A = this chain, B = another copy of it.
Amino acid sequence: MDRANTVRNRAQRYGTTDSKQVKTTMYRSKTCGELRISNAGEQVTLAGWVQRSRKMGGMTFIDLRDRYGITQLVFNEEQDAALCAQANKLGREYVLQVKGTVSERYAKNDKMPTGDIEILVSELNVLNASLTPPFTIEEHTDGGDDLRMKYRYLDIRRENVRANLELRHKFCIAVRNFLDSKGFLEIETPVLIGSTPEGARDFIVPSRMNPGQFYALPQSPQTLKQLLMVAGIDRYFQIAKCFRDEDLRADRQPEFTQIDCEMSFVTQDDIISTFEEMAKYLFKEVRGYDLGEQPFLRLSWHEAMRRFGSDKPDMRFGMEFVELMDVLKGSGSFGVFNDAAYIGGICAEGCAHYTRKQLDQLTDFVKSPQIGAKGLVYARVGEDGSVKSSVDKFYTPEVLSQLRDTMQAKPGDLILILSGADAMKTRKQLCELRLEMGQRLGLRDKNKFSLLWVVDFPMFEWSEEEGRLLAMHHPFTAPRPQDIPMLDTDPASVLADAYDMVCNGVEVGGGSIRIHDAELQAKIFKVLGFTPERAQEQFGFLMNAFKYGAPPHGGLAYGLDRWVSLFAGLDSIRDCIAFPKNNSGRDVMLDAPSAVDPKQLDELKISLAADNE
């Protein structure tokens, strides 16, 4: 049996919710998900929650639910009036233990795995009562987000929420077994580390034993995993909690989970081939999706920006950008185009029939504050190949025909064009329009997956705010070897030996070959505007380590929450996290954060600033 097959078979054999016979306890002989017609006649004991109950004539039916499924219980007034009366008093979410006989149903329900049977109950034991839950425990619940978060322990009882957590569990087991089979060691790095001002804001933790000093929670184990490479660990991974004290956007959490990996004695190709194999394995084993034998596409960052206006292009559909500067700039009297630094278009197949109203919606979309375009130019291609555009009066029919040909638009297509004074900004706006059109045309199917690597990122990006170059990834990223000489002459043009794995327009993970040479690292810090003293103060421990035989190394990190959300088809990472925080960083169930006892602050030798007291 080859390795891949073995990993696969193992995953199948050890699936979680389908494994049988291991969940018998003193309280139950079977779960609510496993009884079938073949069990008819058996005496069983079940335990679970009342999903719903209904009375029909002299019969009472109760759906009993546990993590593994739902089984119908039957109480017959004629056979045991007292028991039936007891059953009629049970409310939703009561916790029961019942004994009874598995019996074939008259009216079978083929929508549920246990739909062929029911339990004729002979003994009923109420293990716990329940208040009426504040929302229904159903896939389509009547509970709003805030209420569900406050009662997250009830929300998780809903099958779809639980399924996300089960998926996350399965995903992590598969990741670990794959990486283990490749010789990676999972090594826990500390959560209480030192603060590094570069990058996002740290959460800090006052130290009682070292008054006036603070630990920081790691934004990622980046420097620690590099130290593990210096330590000769060769292949490291960790499914690690990371922390960033940022103002939360819709899909950010102050604590999130990374699959963090690092390898020694490798080049970019080694890393890409290892993790491409892992991606294919995970898609197949955990999601049941075959990514095929072909290697993933690799696009340079520049090409991705040029063709899709994004460093994480959604490749489930085409609608690539076509640059139109040669066609439209200076070839007519439309001042907006004549002044533009960039003009680009996309071709929406078969959309020439779009109404005025639909086009106005698209115009409003690109002009919305989040997108920020000035306007939208469109051109319809008629069935006869003629072009009718919103800029007809500025251009000759010949130019418009040239536009159609350059766009490779066919009869019935709609051409959408954006322009602007800042090429990069305009491309990003056009990217949003492309995604919107993809959405409208149903081209962004959640059950289709398209992966690629984006490579050759710029090393640096200019920060207007700070008036200096910033590291586009982080300051430990290696430049491409051929670009090293440019660090002195033209640092802004240096490309990094970095790569992102992108799936369906989402950056699933990314990484780089790291600098392993103390001198090169010092040079990069210099380009980033660090004085040698500040570099030493902040990263001295790493630069010192590099003096003791650091091997060539590189790695990457995946966003676990994001990857699982993709597999689950979720719109927010929040839905695959057991106890997420809201956009104010609060856990509304625990009511955290909260005020603490002043004694605690005294012990820590800190105090609240006056305006908080």
Contact = CB atoms under 8 A, between A and B. Distances in A.
Contacts of A427: none
B95 A209 contact: no
A188 B265 contact: no
Given A194-B591, A545-B153, A186 B204 contact: no
A448 to B, nearest CB: 28
Contacts of A547: 130-131
A265 B27 contact: yes
B203 A205 contact: yes
A305 interface: no
Nearest to A612: B212
A465 B197 CA distance: 43
Nearest to A595: B213
A254 B210 CA distance: 13
A70 to B, nearest CB: 12
A20 to B, nearest CB: 9
Given A22-B183, A128-B550, A133-B548, A191 B191 contact: yes
A404 B552 CA distance: 70
A361 interface: no
Which of A127, A577, A579 has the most CB atoms of chain B within a 10 A radius of its CB? Answer: A579
Q: Of A67, A165, A215, which is in contact with the most chain B CB atoms at under 10 Å from its CB?
A: A215
Interface stretch (A172-180, A332-340, A362-370): A172-180
A180 B172 CA distance: 11
Nearest to A6: B13
A577 B257 CA distance: 21
A214 interface: yes
Interface stretch (A343-351, A393-401, A486-494, A596-604): A596-604
Contacts of A166: 185
A242 B185 CA distance: 21
A371 interface: no
A188 B608 contact: no
Contacts of A176: 173, 176
A79 B397 CA distance: 79
Interface string A197-217: 100011111111111111111
A16 interface: yes
**Copies of the protein in its oligomer:** 2
A595 B212 contact: yes
A78 to B, nearest CB: 29
Contact of A193 (B49, B592, B611): B592
A154 to B, nearest CB: 6
Contact of A185 (B6, B165, B215, B245): B165
B180 A14 contact: yes
A605 B594 contact: no
A129 to B, nearest CB: 7
A155 B207 CA distance: 26
A213 B581 CA distance: 15
A241 interface: yes
A151 interface: yes
Given A47-B265, A269-B26, A579-B224, A594 B194 contact: yes
Contacts of A224: 578-579
A517 interface: yes
A281 to B, nearest CB: 13
Contact of A23 (B14, B47, B183, B577): B183
A421 interface: no
Contacts of A595: 212-214
B186 A172 contact: yes
A548 B130 contact: yes
A290 to B, nearest CB: 22
Contacts of A214: 593-596
A449 B118 CA distance: 49
B265 A128 contact: no
A550 B95 contact: yes
Contacts of A254: 192
Interface in A118-164: 127-131, 133, 151-157, 162
Contacts of A589: 227, 541
A432 interface: no
Interface in A558-611: 577-579, 581, 584-587, 589-597, 600, 602-609, 611
Contacts of A187: 165, 168-169, 578
B604 A204 contact: yes
Contacts of A152: 227, 231
Contact of A131 (B19, B548, B584): B548
A424 interface: no
Contacts of A235: 23, 67
A257 B188 contact: yes
A232 B67 contact: yes
Interface in A493-532: 516-517
Contact of A241 (B95, B177, B241, B265): B241
A216 B206 CA distance: 11
A209 B590 contact: no
Contacts of A245: 208-209
A189 B154 contact: no
Given A131-B548, A156-B232, 17 more contacts: A16-B185, A19-B181, A27-B265, A95-B550, A128-B516, A128-B551, A130-B549, A152-B227, A190-B255, A190-B587, A195-B597, A197-B597, A210-B593, A213-B594, A541-B590, A606-B609, A607-B608
10 contacts: A23-B183, A128-B516, A133-B548, A154-B231, A156-B228, A156-B233, A193-B587, A205-B593, A209-B585, A213-B593
Nearest first, the 5 A-B pairs at minimum CB distance are: A194-B592, A130-B549, A156-B231, A212-B612, A27-B265
